[in-house]
């Protein structure tokens, strides 16, 4: 019984620590070892993008890799750390601004659908490896075989000035 109370206390404490305001402070202090990798389907004809090009892709401004291969955007669900990094570094938006951005793009007929929301790392890897043209962000320490890691500004995750952390 005593262990059950301790467990519940730890869960409550974890919930408090992961509240939105505390979570933003924690994310701002993320160590360099927590890089986020840009991955694409192994057959996608790119291996290096500038940070500006990554932004264009994820903002839906670049919708094709080539004449026959559309970009398929995959992004983690709102509670994933990778999504927080993407919102902060790539989109430079809050969660609410991100949602409004995609609604506006669809309303203006600039795109046909927003990024596909992915709820787990395993699902994300399965989709990236199985869908030609797919692109996603993953924890750099958890890159699976079957996907290609894209250099950003000529750098890979773990490099000194890698921009996605």
pLDDT score for 144: 87
What count of Cα atoms within 13 Å lies in the side-chain half-sphere of residue 28?
Answer: 6
Residues 72 and 131 in one domain: yes
Residues 67 and 135 in one domain: yes
Residues 23 and 42 in one domain: no
pTM: 0.77
Strands (E), 50-99: 64-66, 69-70, 72-76
List C-alpha distances in Å: 101 to 31, 73, 92: 29, 15, 11
pLDDT score for 10: 35
**158 within domain boundaries:** no
**100 within domain boundaries:** yes
Range of the domain at 19: 1-30
Coil vs helix vs strand at 151: strand
Residues 133 and 104 in one domain: yes
pLDDT score for 45: 94
Length of the chain: 165
Give the residue carrying structure tokens 């979570």.
Answer: 23
Residue pLDDT tens, the chain, 165 long: 554 444 343 333 334 333 333 333 333 333 445 899 999 999 999 999 999 999 999 999 999 999 999 999 999 999 888 999 999 999 999 999 999 999 999 999 999 889 999 999 899 999 999 999 999 999 998 888 889 999 999 999 999 999 988
């Amino acid at each position: 019984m005593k262990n059950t109370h301790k467990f519940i206390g730890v869960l409550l404490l974890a919930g408090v620590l992961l509240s939105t305001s505390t979570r933003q402070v924690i994310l701002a202090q993320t160590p360099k070892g927590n890089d986020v990798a840009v991955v694409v389907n192994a057959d996608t004809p790119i291996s290096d993008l500038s940070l500006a090009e990554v932004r264009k892709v994820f903002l839906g401004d670049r919708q094709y890799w080539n004449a026959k291969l559309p970009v398929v955007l995959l992004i983690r669900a709102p509670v994933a750390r990778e999504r927080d990094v993407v919102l902060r570094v790539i989109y430079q938006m809050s969660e609410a601004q991100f949602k409004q951005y995609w609604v506006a793009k669809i309303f203006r007929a600039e795109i046909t659908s927003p990024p596909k929301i992915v709820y787990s790392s395993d699902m994300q890897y399965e989709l990236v490896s199985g869908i030609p043209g797919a692109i996603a962000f993953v924890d750099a320490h958890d890159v699976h075989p079957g996907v290609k890691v894209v250099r950003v500004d000529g750098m890979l995750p773990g490099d000194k000035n890698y921009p996605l952390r």
